[in-house]
Chains A and B, each alone.
Chain A
Amino acid sequence: MWREVSNYVDGEVDAALRPAMEEHFRTCERCASVLAGTRNVVALYGDERMLEVPAGFSRRLEKRLAKNAAVKGSGWSSWSAWLVPVAAMALIAGSVLLTNSLAFKNFVKSQHALPGNNIPPDMQVVVSSGSKVFHVAGCPFIHDKATERTITAKEAMQDGYVPCTRCLRQYLKTGLTGQPGDENGSAEAKEEQEEVLSTAGH
C-alpha cells in the first residue's frame, strides 16, 4: 500500500485505484500514519521557509555578478577601442564575442585566453580558484596555488577553462599571444584574424 503513497500524495494514482486507497486509509492505522507522515514531509519541506541561504549570500552573489559584468563590459569596449590600432587585441575580443554566443565553455576568461587546439583530453592539468585558466603542473603562472586541483584537460575545457598562454602555448590555436618566430604568428594567422574580425563585425 505505502508503495503507492508517494504517487497518492502527488495525485498521480490511477483514478480507478484511488477510491480503494481512500477506503484503506480510513481503516488501516498504519497506512494512515504513513500517509499523514508523507504529507507532513511534503508540506514542511515544500515550504519556502526551508530554503535558507547563508548570511550574506545575496550580497556576495550581487558583488560577483557585478564584477563579472564589469570584466565583460571592459572586454567589449576594448574591442572597439583597440580595433584599428591593435588588430591582435581585436581578434581576441572578437573571439570573446563569438564564443559568448556559443556555449558554456570559454566563459569568464581573460582577454589573453584562446581556445586550445589538439590538447590531449586525458592530459592531467592544474586549475585553481580565481582564474579560468588551466596549466601544466608547476607552471609559475598558476593563481592562488593553495586551491590547486588536478583534473583532465577535457574536464577543464568542458568547465570553461582555457589553456595558459605560457605553459600550454604549443596548443594555442593561433599565435596571437604573438612572439616573433611563433610558427602560427604569420600570414595564416592574419588571414584567420581578418576572418574573425569580419564575422565579429556582423
Chain B
Amino acid sequence: MVLNNPGQAGGTREQDLISCVQRGQHELFYELVRPYERRVYAAALAILRNEHDAEDAAQEAMLKAFANIRQFRAEARFSTWLIQITVNEALMRRRRERTVPMEGLDDRRDEESEYAPRDFADWREIPSESLERKEVRQRLAEALATLDQKYRQVFVLRDMEHLNIQETAEALGITVASVKTRLLRARLMLRDLLAAGWEQGWFSRLPFEKGNKPW
C-alpha cells in the first residue's frame, strides 16, 4: 500500500481526472477525491474534534477544491493540496466559533519545557493486527482526542496523513522547528497513553481518565 503518496499509484489516472474536471467534466470530481475522503475527514476532525463539524468542514473543503480546481497545478501533489484546503477550512471554522484567544507566543515556552516519558516495566510492542479490532481503534482514537489541539493536529497531519514536516508546517502556518517539537511531544504522550493502556489491560476500563493521566 502506497501510504506516503496514494496519488502516485494511480498518478496518471489522477492527472487525467484532474484535467477532465478542469475542462468541465464536473461529474468526475467525486471519483477524483474519493480516495482521499478519509484523509480529508481525519484532517478536519483533528482540528475540530466534533464529528458533525468535521464532516461539514470536509464537505465544504471538497466544494472549495472543486470551485478552485482550475488553479491546481500539476507540480503540487493533489492530496496535499486537498488537505491544505481542508486545514484552512477547519481552522477558519474554529477561529470563528471560539471566543478564547488563539494560541500565542506563550506556547513556545510550553513546547520547550521538557516532557519526560514515563517508565514502563512491562512494555511490549503492539501488533498492528490488533487494529482489526474496532475496540482497539476506538482506544487509539480516544487517546488521540485527549491531546492538546496543537499536538494533535501536527500528529494527525504528519503521522496519519503522511504529509512531510515541511508540508505540515505550511498547512498549519507554523515553523518546521515547531512541527518537530510538537510531533515529538505528541508521539511521546501517545506512547505513554498506549503503554499505560496496555499495562492496565487495554479493554477493561479506559485507563486514562481525568486526573489519572500518566504524565
Contacts and interface: CB of A to CB of B under 8 A. Distances in A.
Interface string A1-22: 0110111011010000000000
B26 interface: yes
Interface of A: 2-3, 5-7, 9-10, 12, 30, 33-34, 36-54, 57-58, 60-62, 64-66, 68-69, 72-73, 100-101, 103-104, 107-108, 149, 151, 155, 158-160
A40 to B, nearest CB: 5
Given A43-B128, A47-B131, A50-B140, A104 B41 contact: no
A158 B67 contact: no
A48 B123 contact: no
A45 B68 contact: no
B171 to A, nearest CB: 16
Interface stretch (B73-81, B188-196, B205-213): B188-196
Q: Is the interface of B mostly helix, strand, loop or mixed?
A: helix
Given A34-B191, A46-B162, A151 B96 contact: yes
B26 A51 contact: no
Contacts of B102: none
Contact of A42 (B144, B187, B192): B187
B137 A60 contact: no
Contacts of B187: 5-6, 9, 38, 41-42
A68 B184 contact: no
A34 B117 contact: yes
Contacts of A41: 159, 187, 190-191, 194
Contacts of A159: 92, 96
Given A6-B187, A40-B125, A101 B70 contact: yes
Contacts of B63: 64-65, 68, 107-108
